Amino acid sequence: MIALIQRVSDARVVVDGETVGAIGKGLLVLLGVEKGDDEKKAHRLHEKVLGYRVFEDAEGKMNLNVQQAGGEVLVVSQFTLAADTKKGMRPSFSGAAPDEANRLYEVFTHYCRESGVQTETGRFAADMKVSLTNDGPVTFWLQV
């Protein structure tokens, strides 16, 4: 599983003109599911995402995780993260796991909510418009 996380001051997802998920300060998580991913990987990735120290402490150092910083999480499914871009000029999605993606997206989101973090989502497989204000910019690729 892959999570591209961005520290944001705000982020939102709009589907057909309707805001379906929005947060203030926190993490925008673009989530990709690959073949071979399972609930165990979803759990490990959620722990890594929520525990990753990307927020500044009183001394200006990135020492706080999203919970310690009082932030929120917006999770958006993004199958293109599973693309193989090593060859040619067109991505291959042979490594993506469309049959398991929605279930594992829901599992990941459940784990985040269960951890006590305010968690919003996009809409799985919808044509989403994602807007954000990247704070920093701070962006990390996490994979388990």
Residues with a known catalytic role: 78-80
Alpha carbon dihedral 55, 61, 64, 68, in 10-degree steps, equals -90
d(CA 23, CA 6): 12
Number of Cβ within 10 Å of residue 138's Cβ equals 15
Question: What does the buried/exposed string (b/e) look like for 10-27 if buried means 16 or more CB atoms within 10 Å of the residue's CB?
Answer: bbbbbeeeeebbebebbb
| Kind and range of the H or E run holding 68 | none
d(CA 65, CA 81): 23
Number of Cβ within 10 Å of residue 32's Cβ equals 24
